[in-house]
Amino acid sequence: MMRLRGFLSELLRYPSAIVGGLVVFLLIAVAIYTLIKIPYREAIRLWRGGEEVWYQNPKYAPPAWLNLFSAKKQPVSFAVNSADGEMEKVITPIDQTLSTIELKYSFDFVYDEFPQDLILYFRSKFNEKSPFVSISWVTPDERSIRIADFGVSRSQTFRFSQDQKLQKRLKTEAVIPALFRAPDAEDPRPLKGTYQLLITATTFEPDTDLDAEFVLHGKLYGLAGTDQYRRDLSLALLWGTPVALAFGLLAALGTSLLTMVIAAVGTWYSGIVDELIQRITEINLVLPFLAILIMVGTFYSRSIWVILGVTILLSIFSGSIKTYRAIFLQLRESPYIEAARAYGASNARIILVYLIPRMIPLLIPSLVSSVPSYVFLEASLAVLGLGDPVLPTWGKVIESAFTDGALYRGLYYWVLEPAALLMVTGLGFAMLGFALDRIFNPRLRDIS
C-alpha cells in the first residue's frame, strides 16, 4: 500500500504521466460506457443496417458543431415522430364515425442554406377506409402553402422534393428552396423564422389512428456526421474505442508476457531449449511480418480476434526476447535463486515465482509503450481493407472515407475524426509509457 502511494506520488511529478493517464482513463471510461449503452449485437445490427435503420439521416453530412466555426450556418438534420409525442396531436370527433386528427409541428429555421429534403413517413391503423390527409406549410411571413392531399395507406412515405403535383403547383422543380424562400425575393437565401407543418387527416372509421414522422435532411448531422450509407459515424467512433483498446492492450499484454515467460524458460533450462528459442527468433526475423498478416487477412479470416492471435504469435519471438534473456542470465546466478534451489523449489516455481516477478518493473513501461503500435496496426490493416468484417472500427471509417474519396470531395470530418481519436490514443499511451519508463528504470532518469 505504501509502495503504491509512493509510486503514485512519483508518477504525478511527470506532466506527461498525468496527461497520458488521464487520456487512458477517459478512453477506458468511454469504452465501458459504449459497451453498456450499445451492446455488441446491437452495434453490429446498426452498423450493418441499411436505409431501414438510417433513413432519418442525410448522406455525407458533416457534424452539427461545424456551425459554431462558420459564419454561414448550414441546416442541421432532425426527425420528429408524433407517436413519441414530439408533434402536437389533436383528435376531434365529428360524429360516430368521422373524426379529424390534426398533427402540428413548428420549428425555428435559422440557417443560411436550404435543407436537402423534407420527408413524411405515415403510419396509420384502419380497417377498410383509409384516412385522407392534407398537408400544408406555413412560412414565417404567414403564407400558407398547400403541399398535398391524398388518402394514406397503412405505411406511406411522402417526399416533398419528389412530388410532381407540388412541383407543378410551385412552378419549379426545386421544391425545397421554393418552400423556404420569400416569393419574388432577389435574395437566394432561406427565410429565417418559425415554420409550421400542418397535417390534417379526416378518418372514416371509429378507431382509426394516424401517426407521422417528419424528417428534415439538412446538411449537417449530430455529433460526428454521417457516411455514404447515412450511418451515424458516432456509432463507429464510440465502438472503435473498446475495439482499439482491446486489441492494443491484449496484443501488448500477450506479447510481453509470453515473450518474458519464454525468455525465462529458455535461460533457466539453457542448453537445447535455449538454443531452439534463439533459432526460432532468427527465423522469425526472416518472416515478413506485415505480409503474413495481410495473407492471413486475405486467405483465412479477417476476424479481429484471428488477426490478434497471429499478431501475438509473430511478435513473441522478437528482439526483446534477447534483452530479457540477458537480464535473466544475470538473475539466474543471484543468491536468492540459489537459496530457492537449495530448499528444493521446482523449476516451474522458480521461473514463475522468483524469476518473472523480478522483471515486472521492466515489463510495465514497455507494455504500455507498445500499445499504440498495436492500435495503429489494427488501423493499418483496416486501411488496407482487411478490417474486421462486422465490427465498426476507427480504421474502417478511415478506409471507407478513403475509398469514397472523402479528401478529394472536402469531407474532411470523415477522415479527421477517427484519425484524431487514433492520435489521442497513441499519444496517451506513449506519454504514459514514457513516464513509467523513467520511474521504473532510474538508470535512464539520470541522463535524460
Partner 1 sequence: MSTETLSASSLSEKRRVSALGDGTLARVAKYTAVRLVTLFITVVIGVYLTILIANMGGYVDTIMRNEIKYEAAQAVLANPVSRNLPPEVREKLIRERIALEEKRLGLDQPFFIRSLRYLRNALTLNLGYAIFMNSDSGSRQVRLILLERLPATLLLTGTSELILFFSSVFLALSLSRKYGSFWDKLTIALSPTSSAPPWFYGIFFILIFAAVLKVLPFGGIVDVPPPRNPIDYGLSVLKHLILPASSVIVSSFFLSIYNWRTYFLIYSSEDYVEMARAKGLPSRDIERRYILRPTLPTIVTNFALLVISLWTGFTITETVFLWPGLGRTLYQAIGLYDTPVIVGSTIIYAYLLAITVFLLDFIYALIDPRVKIGGESPQ
Out of 185, 283, 339, 360, the only residue in the binding site for partner 1 (CB under 8 A) is: 283
Site membership for partner 1, residue 440 (CB under 8 A): no
CA 350/CA 336 separation, integer angstroms = 10
Binding window for partner 1 (CB under 8 A); candidates: 95-103, 110-118, 125-133, 280-288: 280-288
Among 161, 267, 281, 311, binds partner 1 (CB under 8 A): 281
x/- contact string, 344-383, with partner 1 (CB under 8 A)?
-------------------------x--xx--x--xx--x
Of 261 and 384, nearer to partner 1 (C-beta) is 384
Shorter beta-carbon distance to partner 1: residue 196 or 284: 284
The minimum distance between CB 313 and partner 1, in angstroms, equals: 12
Of the residues 17, 356, 422, 439, which one makes contact with partner 1 according to CB under 8 A: 422
| CA pair distance 236, 224, nearest whole angstrom | 9
Nearer to partner 1, 176 or 379 (CB): 379
- Residues in 301-330 that interact with partner 1 by CB under 8 A: 318-320, 322-323, 329
Cα 32–chain centre separation: 13
Q: Which is nearer to partner 1, 54 or 324 (CB)?
A: 324
- 90 touching partner 1, by CB under 8 A: no
> Which span sits near partner 1 by CB under 8 A: 90-98, 115-123, 354-362, 401-409?
401-409
Return the number of the residue (130 or 370) whose C-beta is nearest partner 1. 370
- C-alpha grid cell, residue 45: 445490427
Q: Which three cell numbers stand for residue 360?
A: 515486472
Of 21 and 190, nearer to partner 1 (C-beta) is 21
- 39-58 positions binding partner 1, by CB under 8 A: none
* Nearby residues of 161 by Cβ (< 8 Å), 6 or more positions away: 117, 118, 175, 176
Tell me if 336 contacts partner 1 by CB under 8 A.
no
Nearer to partner 1 by Cβ, of 25 and 300: the residue is 300
Q: Identify the residue among 26, 223, 295, 348 touching partner 1 (CB under 8 A).
A: 295
- Contacting residue, 25, 107, 336, 412, with partner 1 by CB under 8 A: 412
Q: Applying CB under 8 A, which part among 101-109, 207-215, 297-305, 349-357 lies near partner 1?
A: 297-305
Q: Residue 12 or 444: which CB sits closer to partner 1?
A: 444
What is the C-alpha separation between 180 and 93, in angstroms, rounded? 34
Q: Name which position in 1, 4, 272, 291 contacts partner 1 (CB under 8 A).
A: 291
Q: Does 276 bind partner 1 (CB under 8 A)?
A: no
Q: Which stretch binds partner 1 (CB under 8 A): 47-55, 190-198, 332-340, 427-435?
A: 427-435
Residue 403 contacts partner 1 per CB under 8 A: no
Q: Which residues bind partner 1 (CB under 8 A)?
A: 16, 278-279, 281-288, 290-292, 294-296, 298-300, 318-320, 322-323, 329, 369, 372-373, 376, 379-380, 383-384, 398, 402, 407-408, 410, 412, 415-416, 419, 422-423, 426-427, 429-431, 434, 444, 447-448
